Amino acid sequence: MGDRAQVGLTAAEALALSTPADIRRANQQIKYALPSRLQAGSVRFVTNAGPVSRATRHFVNLEFIGFSAAVARPGTPAQAALELTKQGRLRFECSCEHFRYVLRFVATAGGWVAGRPEHGMPKLTNPTLDGACCKHIARVMTDLQMSVALRQRVAAMIEAERARVDRPGGKATPRAVTLRQAEAERVVPTNARRIAVPRVAKLPPPASAADLRAAIATYRGKTDPTSVAIARALNALLKGSAP
Ligand SMILES: [Zn+2]
C-alpha cells in the first residue's frame, strides 16, 4: 500500500475502532498514563506495562494534527485545548510489541501512524487488520477525552507555542513542557477511569479503496495459503470501505 495523506483519528474514533479484547485488557491492566513531555503538538506518555510483559513500562507518542491551527486560532489556550483533546485528529504509536507487530501496519494503512511507517502486512498475527489502540493507547485516549488536568497541560503547551511564535524573529526552539514525577502523578487520577467505547456516528474507512485495490492486485494469482488469506482479508476490507 502506498503512503496516504495522514488523516488521523479522533480519540473517540480510535477507541471505537479498537477490539473489545484490547479495551478489556486496558481496563484490567493499565492503571496510569503519565504525560511526561509535551512539545509543539506532541505528547509523550509513560504507562505501566501489563502483568506478563517483559517491560516495566511503555511509551505512547501522540501528535495533534491540528496543533498549528489551534495555536493560530482566536480564543484562549483552554478553549483551543478543549477542542484539540475532544475533537482533534491524532496520530499515535506505542512501544509495545502488540503495536509493533500488529497495529503499526494498520495505523500506516489508515493514515494515523506516528513515527515509523510499517508496510509489512501482519500476515498471521492480524490477517483481518482489526484494531487501532493497544491497551496502553486506549488508556491515553480515555484520559485525553476526560482528564481536566491533562487538558490543562495541553493548554500550557499551546500557550508556550503562542509565546514562541509571537517573539520577534520567532525562531526559538519549541519549548518543551516536562512534568516531574510528583507533578505527573497529580495529573493522574488515583483510581483509573473506566475505559468506555464511545459511540461514533460514522467511522472512517480503515484504508482507501484505491489502496486496497492496489494491495489486492499484488496478491492476485498467488495460491499459497497465506497469500490467499491476505487477499480474502483485503477483499473483506474493501467491501466495508468507501466506494
Ligand atoms: Zn501499547
Residue-wise pLDDT for 174-206, tens only, equals 778 777 777 766 666 667 788 888 877 666 655
Rounded distance from Cα 95 to ligand 1 centre (Å): 6
Rounded distance from Cα 10 to ligand 1 centre (Å): 18
Distances in whole angstroms, Cα of residue 97 to Cα of each of 10, 55, 102, 139, 148 = 23, 10, 8, 16, 30
Rounded distance from Cα 243 to ligand 1 centre (Å): 32
Q: What are phi and psi of 88, to 5 degrees?
A: -65, 145
Q: What are phi and psi of 177, to 5 degrees?
A: -100, 110
Rounded distance from Cα 113 to ligand 1 centre (Å): 13
Instruction: Classify burial at 6, counting beta carbons within 10 Å of its beta carbon; exposed 0-12, middle 13-18, buried 19 or more.
Output: middle
Alpha carbon distance 197, 89 (integer Å): 17
Q: So what's the pLDDT on residue 17?
A: 93
Residues 6+ apart with CB under 8 A from 136: 26, 30, 33, 45, 47, 58, 60, 94, 96, 99
Q: So what's the pLDDT on residue 2?
A: 40
Among residues 71, 66, 61, 58, the alpha carbon closest in space to that of 37 is found at 61
Alpha carbon distance 188, 179 (integer Å): 12
**Alpha helix positions (H), 35-134:** 67-72, 77-87, 97-98, 104-110
Q: So what's the pLDDT on residue 217?
A: 79
Alpha carbon distance 99, 122 (integer Å): 11
Alpha carbon distance 46, 58 (integer Å): 6
Instruction: Indicate the pairing of strand 57-64 with strand 42-48.
Output: antiparallel
Q: So what's the pLDDT on residue 139?
A: 96
Rounded distance from Cα 148 to ligand 1 centre (Å): 23
Rounded distance from Cα 18 to ligand 1 centre (Å): 12
Rounded distance from Cα 98 to ligand 1 centre (Å): 6
Alpha carbon distance 223, 55 (integer Å): 39
Rounded distance from Cα 56 to ligand 1 centre (Å): 12
Rounded distance from Cα 156 to ligand 1 centre (Å): 26
Instruction: Going residue by residue through the chain, which has 243 residues, state the pLDDT in tens, using 9 for 90 and above.
Output: 344 455 899 999 999 999 999 999 999 999 999 999 999 899 999 999 988 888 889 999 999 999 999 999 999 999 999 999 999 999 999 999 999 988 999 999 889 999 999 988 777 777 778 899 999 999 999 999 999 999 999 999 999 999 888 877 756 677 787 777 777 666 666 677 888 888 776 666 556 667 777 777 777 788 877 777 777 777 777 776 544
Rounded distance from Cα 90 to ligand 1 centre (Å): 16
Q: What is the pTM of this model?
A: 0.78
